[in-house]
Amino acid sequence: MAERLSAEARKSALGELSGWSEVAGREAITRTFTFKDFNEAFGFMEERLQDCRSGAGDPRRRRRHRA
């Protein structure tokens, strides 16, 4: 299991993640995705599913996802 980041490490890491922000009052980060329609949203989910199935969703592989 991955280690939790300290608040300081989380802030530092967020500097490298476009569109992500901290969740107030929690040890979490968030990002909102907006799509023009259901088909675009479903296509995005399908791409993420394929990434996970191929192992590309594994953070140890350090692959950058387009968003």
pLDDT exceeds 70 at position 62: no
* pLDDT attached to residue 11: 87
Q: Is 29 helix (H, G, I), strand (E, B) or coil?
A: strand
Q: Using one digit for the tens of pLDDT, what is the confidence trace for 11-60?
A: 888 988 889 999 999 988 899 999 999 999 999 999 988 888 887 655 55
Residues 6 or more apart whose Cβ sits within 8 Å of residue 27: 4, 5, 7, 10
